[in-house]
Structure 1
Amino acid sequence: MTMTRTQYVIAAGLIVATALVLYAMGHPWICKCGTVKLWHFQVVSSENSQHIFDWYTPSHIIHGFLFYFLFWLIAPRASLGTRLLLAIGVEATWEVVENTDYVIDRYREATVALDYYGDSVLNSVSDILFMVLGFVLAARLPVWLTVTIAIGFEVFTGIMIRDGLALNVLMLLWPSETVLRWQNSR
């Protein structure tokens, strides 16, 4: 992918600014448990969304797929680097919004995330970087393969943790008692 030096600096600046905003909001740099793990397997845990990647990492890769498509549609003349910067801006904004008290409370009352108190800064930065990975993959892979990977991620996380991007959005915006009961019956 071709990006200018300025675009790299802007991308890094957006990510650093997001980390600083999250820290200023009271989120810890790393898990309050004091360790940094590559992966934490347990979903219903105070360590979920605290480490480098977790069960929700595939959702962020799918964000990258979706943002690639969105910015290809609405800004077809923009360079790939510019579209990636726009995607980073949207993902960074989501990471901040997702970690506000309002959204955290919404997750805890409407989804299976009962013990969720927000992401660590490390996890949020990792989420942004995994979105970048998804964006780059979508730019390089055939559409059919990108769609297949997205569906595979959704099916896999649906089977493994009874959650994923589609279920997460559904439960955040239009909570379903039936879906919540199914998610809690693991």
Structure 2
Amino acid sequence: MKASIRPLGAALLVVLGAAAILFLMGRPPLYRGGLIELWGPVGPKQSQMLFDWYSASHLVHGFLFYGLLHLAAKKMKWERRLVLATIVEAAWELVENSPVIIDRYREVTIALGYRGDTILNSVSDILLMMVGFLVARRVPVWASVMIVLVLELVPLAIIRDNLTLNVWMLLAPSDALRQWQAG
């Protein structure tokens, strides 16, 4: 089924709007000195480059938003559901990069030196959610479940963090879990 250009254009306008608001919030567009790299490993470049270990969680957001909106708003065209999901993801990026959430990450998670995202990273995160949403629309439910499991288990195995643990630690911090994550 052919997509309407208006909802897709609206979704891209949401991304641009989020980038503008992040700029007005004082978020840096790029890493120090304008450095742009494809991958920001765990450390000072985490959440500063185009992709990082948390990029997987934004793909998962897309799968989850697709599933939830498919159930909650079946009569809404998928393109409009994509715009809605993009608005929610953009809102999360704005909240995630507010001083209160940045401080919360530092206080209760293993992200002790977290400074927030660059605008480049936030835009990439929103676009990755859109990719996850579009993939979820195309693949069978069983494949979506398998992809989400891989996207959660690989970062868990390598960096001891993922979307599930990230949300858990923000909402109900656990010293035991934080110690395990720290290795």
Using the size of structure 1 for normalisation, the TM-score is: 0.96
Q: Gaps spanning 5+ residues in structure 1: where?
A: none
Q: Secondary structure at the match of 2:44?
A: coil
Task: Name the CA distance, whole Å, in 2 between partners of 1:3 and 1:115.
Answer: 42
Identity among equivalent positions (%) equals 46
Structure 2: distance between partners of 1:179 and 1:12: 37
Inter-partner Cα distance in structure 2 for 1:152 and 1:9: 31
Match of 1:4 in 2: 4
Question: Over residues 24-48 of structure 1, what are the superposed CA-to-partner deviations in whole Å (9 max), with x where a residue is unaligned?
Answer: 111111112531010022x1x2211
The aligned residue for residue 155 of structure 2 is 157
**How far does residue 181 in structure 1 lie from its aligned partner after superposition?**
0.4
Number of equivalences: 183
Cα distance in 1 for residues equivalent to 2:33 and 2:114: 14
The residue that corresponds to 1:20 in the other structure is 20
Q: Which secondary structure state, in structure 2, belongs to the residue aligned with residue 124 of structure 1?
A: helix
Q: What's the RMSD between the two structures over aligned residues?
A: 1.0
The separation in 2 between residues aligned to 1:7 and 1:142, in whole angstroms, is 24
- What is the letter of the counterpart of residue 151 of structure 1? L
1:1-186 maps to which residues of 2 (within 5 A)?
2-41=2-41, 43=42, 45-185=43-183
Q: Distance in 2 between matches of 1:121 and 1:84?
A: 21
Q: Which runs of 4+ in 1 moved over 4 A?
A: none
Cα displacement (A) at 1:3: 2.8
Deviation at 1:5, TM superposition (A): 2.1
Name stretches of at least 5 consecutive residues in structure 2 with no aligned partner. none
Letter in 1 for 2:91: T
Distance in 2, Cα, partners of 1:114 & 1:34: 23
TM-score by length of 2: 0.97
1-structure distance, mates of 2:61, 2:160:
19
Counterpart of 1:145, as a letter, is A
